[in-house]
Amino acid sequence: MREIHPTAFLIGRLVVDGSTQDRFIDDPAGAGRAFAERILRTDGAQARFGDRLLFDAWESYNEAVSEGADAGRKRKYDDFQVAFARPIQAAGFEPIAMNFATATCWVPTS
């Protein structure tokens, strides 16, 4: 992709099943940091193309809050997103939050 479109904005996504995503409610900030750290340990987050990182951004959980969710759950999801964003940004990536499958790239974790 980078060879064909070197200026393309590439977004990585680590797929997580719904039951795992739902656990953010117990410790939103801890879950956000842990998910970011999990992503940052993947080969995809370390991959480079020339002198730059392969990916420009990483998505957090996908569609973790459904329509009609109560205000408390939404606030906890906000807390999750903020905690996810900080380490992602510190590593040089843009965090993608509140995403609904706008763009994805599967990255093997092993």
Task: Provide the token pair at 108.
Answer: 């093997």
pLDDT tens digit sequence for 52-79: 899 999 999 877 777 777 888 889 989 9
Residue with tokens 């998505």: 59
Q: What is the pLDDT of residue 42?
A: 95
Mean pLDDT across the chain, nearest whole number? 86
Cβ atoms of 82 and 31 closer than 8 Å: no
8 A C-beta contact, residue 71 and residue 22: no
Confidence of residue 109 (pLDDT cuts 50, 70, 90): low
Name the residue ranges covered by the structural domains of the chain: 15-96
- Strands 48-49 vs 11-12: parallel, antiparallel or unpaired: unpaired
15 falls in which pLDDT band (50, 70, 90)?
confident
pTM: 0.83
